[in-house]
Structure 1
Amino acid sequence: MVHVSSSTARERFARAMRTLRQTKGLSQEDLAERAGLHRNYIGSVERGERNVGIDNLERIAQALETELIDLIGRSD
């Protein structure tokens, strides 16, 4: 049986992304610039408001200097 958390995958990913960004001492603006995305987009991802496409997931992971699989794995 698979355990399903009460929070959505999107919410868990948002928390993992925010935590890693903060651990690296980056602001949302810094991350947005590194990823080539708008700062409002990064904020909405971190609030769990957006479903993020695979291309943007990869851009965010690269900007955080981590592998995509590791970033996604943090959200388990």
Structure 2
Amino acid sequence: MPIPKKDKPRLKISGRQLLACNVLKLRRMKQWTQEELSYEAGLHRTMVGQIERERRNVTLATMESIAAALEVDIGDLLASTEELKS
């Protein structure tokens, strides 16, 4: 007898949404443009926009680069909006 397929569990807010919201908020706190953040993080200039619009799955290495450029812990990029310090 085949085992029925179980639906994937879903979070209330996706990792992409958290990342997009937090990168945008942290970038604005530094008063940087997307281009300035991409330069500081060593990324292509379009990648930051794609991340902020939830259009890009990022690697851990990319998240590390963004966190280092923004001078935050990598966990801050995925923190819930209530946990992120203003």
TM over 0.5, shorter chain: yes
Match of 2:39 in 1: 33
More RCO (CA 8 Å, sep 6+):
1
Gaps of 5+ in 2: 1-9
- Residue 4 of structure 1 pairs with residue 29 of structure 2: no
Bigger Cα Rg: 2
Q: TM-score, normalised by structure 2?
A: 0.76
Paired residue total: 73
Percent sequence identity over aligned pairs: 37
Map Cα deviations across residues 21-75 of structure 1 (whole Å, 9 max, x no partner).
0011111000000000011011101100011100000000001011101222245
Identify which range, 7-16 or 17-26, moves more after superposition.
7-16
Match of 2:24 in 1: 18
Q: TM-score, normalised by structure 1?
A: 0.85
In proportion to residue count, which structure has more helix?
1
Q: CA RMSD in A?
A: 1.8
Alpha-carbon distance change, 60 to 51 in structure 1, aligned in 2, over 3 angstroms: same
Gaps of 5+ in 1: none
